[in-house]
Structure 1
């Protein structure tokens, strides 16, 4: 029984770390420039991200880092970075990990994607960041666990990220990204099936309301 508890605790820890990065006291401070880009970020990625970033003005007060990373289970991953000492507070910064290649695509480099596809992808990821603003730092732990363990919750969050991107003016880009992924022979059918299962459909994106309403609701404890 004790062994099972340890296994479960370890699994929960991995779930949480998949959505949240905890910044320990020994971790050096990240660059103050926001957004900052790690070495190796291609100019196409940087420029497309900055185009999208300009429309997410509510995030400009946060530290934000775009980091080239080796990702095994996704192409991009948006995460809050939380101080261990502030787990029950509200202070955080954010980061976006970007892989070198589209997941399960062979040699399809992200830097080579069309500009509108990149914008749609980034708009979706920044939509996740806005959605995270619904939750306190401690609440993000529950968020991470539910995201991995509940298909329903994951689908809701992915649809909300698309909706937020559309409300920020990126409907055409979000649709372009969806079409590119779903119609590209270089991307694996398994990855395409995941997109169909969890993400808003192309028709749903076409019909999604685009009113530019405030998208930062009160923090839920």
Structure 2
């Protein structure tokens, strides 16, 4: 750690990525490239990643449905043994295996979207002025979905970018959960009303500060 980085850490000024040697936006983490999709999954392509999981599940169902009748015939012995039997059995079991795996992964990320959390935030709560809060970015299921998929539901299942925001500013549920990022602080904050409703947007321009150093 250099003297400048140490000074930043001691002053609690900004979030800094020690690997990239650049400032880190709010909710940003240095991520290794996912070998499965050959890319990093983040704000700009999170919708496409979810659609990739959904399309893959549909494809697994299509394969299983296509070979199911032949699978039954081989299983009960109506068709003679041969190379085709291995292919059918292999396709059936692989399709089911991948479907179950993708179903759990897709369901988990749908839950994250409904709570407006990143994968890391699901394990470690983000820190705000008032302290750690896992639901600090949770502005309601409908608005959480709109941040990823957009307002037009007709485009939710089409692979085009329809998400809201720019990846630097994020609406917050409470004014007390003020963003910790000093350079990319949230301008749009959600304030709850007295009756417990989700409330309306309020403006705030007094960000707090934090820092996160990569090991």
TM-score (norm 2): 0.31
More helix by share: 1
